[in-house]
Amino acid sequence: MHQFAIADIVVLVTYLLGVVGLGVWFFRKNRNPEGYMAAGRSMPGWVVGLSIFGTYVSSISFLALPGKAFSSNWNALAFSVSLPLAAWVATTWFVPYYRKGDAVSAYQHLEQRFGVWARTYAATCYLLTQVARMGSVMYLLALPLHQLLGWNVPALILITGGLTTLYTLLGGIEGVIWTDALQSVVLAIGAVACAIILPMSMPEGASQMLEIATTHNKFSLGLLGLSLSQPTFWIVLIYGMFINLQNFGIDQSYVQRYIAAKSDRDARTSVWIGALVYVPISIIFLWIGTALFAYYNAQPDLLPESLKAQVAEGKGDGVFPYFIVDGLPTGISGLLVAAIFAAAMSTLSTSLNGAATLTLTDFYRRFIRPEASERESMIVLYISTMAWGVIGTTTAIAMMEVQSILDAWWQLAGIFSGGMLGLFLLGMTSRKAGNRAAVVGVVLGVLVILWMTLSRTEAWPAGWATVASPFNNYLVIVFGTLTILLTGWLLTTFFSRSVPLDATGETDTPPNDNS
C-alpha cells in the first residue's frame, strides 16, 4: 500500500484549511441568533440547493452505497428513484407552508396545530434521528483515515468529530450552507474521477469490468417479488418515498435552508437542485461499488486478508476506503479523501446546527427562558452544538460493531422518525383532526414502531415469537406513518367537529382538545 505523498497531503490540507477559514469568516458575521440559525433569510437558491445536495450525500452515500453495491447489487437505487416525487410534494406544499411565517423551528407549526406535546415529540424524534446520522457519518469518515494513517478508528472518530464540531460552532447556518456548496463540488469531482479510473484500471480494460459484473448479476435491482419480509425493490422504493418525503418535508435540516433562502422561488429551486443532482450521483456511487467488485474479483490478491474476512461476512464498507489509498494515483488519493471529508462535514455541520437550533427554540426558549436575550441565546447555541457533537461522536464509536452502515442508518432513521411524518400529514390533510385524534394516532403509531423493531431483535421474549413482526424493518416508517394517519382520520370522521384551516393547512384557531 502506498502512503500519502506530498501531493496528497497538499490537497487534503488545503481543503481543510479552506473549510476552517470559511468557518472563521462567517463567525464574524453571525453573532446573533437570527444570523446563526437563518442567515438573515438572504441566501441564493443555487447555493442552498448545492447545500441540500451535500447534506443528502454525506459519507453514508459516499462510502456505504459503494459498499452496498460491492456486497450485493443496485437494490439501493430504488431509494433514489423516489426523490423527484418527494421534491414535487415539498415544493408544492411544504416550502410555502414554512416560509409564510417567522418561525425557524420546523416543529413550532405542530404546536399551533395540535399543542405543545406535538412540537416536543417531533423535535425529540428529529434529535434522535440526527444522533444516528452523525454516528454513521463519523464512523464512515474514520474508515479511509484508518486505512491511510494506521490510527485506530475510535481515535479518528474523536479527532474528526471534534474538528467538525469546532467548524460548525464558528460558522453558523450561513457558514454551513456556503461550505456545503463548496464541499458538494469537491465530492462530485472526487466521485466522477473514481468512477472513471476504476474501470480503466482493470487488467483487460473496462469491458472486463462489465463482463464480471454482469456474470455475477451485480446490476440487479434486487428481488422484484411482492414479499413484505424481504428488502425487495418495491419495499426499498416505498421506504424511500416515505423517508425522502420526510427529509424534504419535515426535517429541520432542510426546513432551515428553505427559511434561509431569500425568496419562495429560491427555496423551491433549492429543493429541485438538491434532488435532481443527487440521483445521478447516487448512480455513480453504485457504479463505483460494482466496479470495485469486478476489480478485486479479477485481482483477488490485491485485497488484504483482513478485508477478505470482512467481505466474507457481508461487510463491504471498508473496500472503497482501501482502494482510495492503495489503488489510486498520487494526488487523486488526496482528492478522494478530501471528498469524503466534504461529504461527512457537510452532513455533520447541518445536523449539529439543526440540533442546536431546536435545543434553543423548542426546549430552552419554550420551557426554560422564553425571554432569553440574544447573548444568552448565543451561549445556548454554542453549548448545545458542542454537546450534540459529543453525543454524535459517542454514537459513532458504538456503530463500529454493525454489519452494514447503510442498513443501520436506514433502520435507525425509520425507527426514530416513523411518527413525525404521520403527525405532519395528519395535520395537513385533515381539516377536522384535533388534539385527541393526534395523540391516539401517535401512541398507536409508536406502539407499531416498537413492535416491528423489538420483535426482530434478541430482546423479544422467545415465548412471544408467534406475534413477532413478519415485516421487513424498512417498513417501520411506512406502517408507523400510516397507523397515525388512519387512526387520526377514523377518529376524526366519527367523533370530531371541523377545525378551520388556512390555505396551507394550518389552523386559524388555537389547538383544541376535540378528537
Residue 162 Cα distances to 225, 340, 411, angstroms: 45, 17, 26
Q: Per-residue pLDDT averaged across 229-257, rounded?
A: 90
- What is the structure's pLDDT at 409? 58
- What is the structure's pLDDT at 511? 47
Q: How far apart are CA 248 and CA 254, in angstroms?
A: 6
Q: How far apart are CA 316 and CA 140, in angstroms?
A: 12
Q: Per-residue pLDDT averaged across 204-220, rounded?
A: 93
252 pLDDT above the threshold of 70: yes
71 pLDDT above the threshold of 80: yes
Query: What distance lies between CA 88 and its chain's CA centroid?
Result: 19
Grid cell for residue 250: 419535515
Closest to 392 (Cα-Cα) out of 157, 56, 124, 53? 157
Q: Per-residue pLDDT averaged across 126-133, rounded?
A: 85
- What is the number of alpha carbons within 13 Å of residue 128 lying toward its C-beta? 16
8 pLDDT above the threshold of 90: no
Yes or no: say if 256 and 428 are a contact pair by the CB < 8 Å rule: no
Taking each helix axis from N to C end, the angle separating 252-260 and 332-358, rounded to the nearest 10 degrees, works out to 90
Yes or no: say if 317 and 288 are a contact pair by the CB < 8 Å rule: no
Grid cell for residue 455: 420483535
Q: Per-residue pLDDT averaged across 169-185, rounded?
A: 83
> Bridge-partner residues for 43, per DSSP?
261
- What is the structure's pLDDT at 504? 44
More confident residue, 256 or 409: 256
Per-residue pLDDT tens over the stretch 269-321:
999 999 999 999 999 999 999 999 999 999 988 888 888 888 888 778 778 88
DSSP character string of 238-299 = HHHHHHHHHHHHH-HHHHHHHHHBSSHHHHHHHHHHHHHHHHHHHHHHHHHHHHHHHHHHH-
- What is the structure's pLDDT at 502? 46
Closest to 122 (Cα-Cα) out of 344, 361, 348? 361
- What is the structure's pLDDT at 3? 59
- What is the structure's pLDDT at 265? 95
pLDDT band of 83, cuts 50, 70, 90: very high
Per-residue pLDDT tens over the stretch 501-515:
444 444 444 444 444
- What is the structure's pLDDT at 324? 84
Residues contacting residue 274 through CB under 8 Å, at least 6 positions apart: 49, 50, 51, 52, 53, 55, 56, 87
Closest to 187 (Cα-Cα) out of 119, 141, 234? 141
48 pLDDT above the threshold of 90: yes
- What is the structure's pLDDT at 149? 64
Three-state secondary structure along 81-109? Answer: HCHHHHHHHHHHHHHHHHHCCCCCCCCHH
Residues of the chain with pLDDT > 70, as a percent, come to 89
Q: Per-residue pLDDT averaged across 197-212, rounded?
A: 93
Grid cell for residue 321: 476506503
Per-residue pLDDT tens over the stretch 456-510:
777 788 888 889 999 988 898 899 999 999 999 999 988 765 444 444 444 444 4
180 pLDDT above the threshold of 90: no
- What is the structure's pLDDT at 485? 93
117 pLDDT above the threshold of 90: yes
Q: Is residue 412 classed exposed, middle or buried when 0-12, 13-18 and 19+ CB atoms within 10 A define those classes?
A: buried
Annotated domain spans of the chain:
6-398
Return the exposure string of 91-129: e unless at least 16 CB atoms fall within 10 Å of the residue's CB, then b: beebbbbbbeeebbbbbbbbbbbbbeebbbbbbbbbbeb
pLDDT band of 28, cuts 50, 70, 90: low
- What is the structure's pLDDT at 325? 78
- What is the structure's pLDDT at 13? 81
- What is the structure's pLDDT at 397? 86
Fold topology of 6-398: Sodium/glucose cotransporter (1.20.1730)
> Bridge-partner residues for 261, per DSSP?
43
- What is the structure's pLDDT at 60? 66
Q: Tell me, what DSSP letter sits at residue 426?
A: H
Yes or no: say if 262 and 43 are a contact pair by the CB < 8 Å rule: yes
Q: What is the dihedral of CA 48, 127, 166, 99, to 10 degrees?
A: 30
Average pLDDT, the chain: 84
Per-residue pLDDT tens over the stretch 391-420:
999 988 887 766 555 566 556 665 666 678
> Which residue is listed with cell 494513517?
149
Q: How far apart are CA 447 and CA 478, in angstroms?
A: 13
Q: How far apart are CA 195 and CA 9, in angstroms?
A: 22
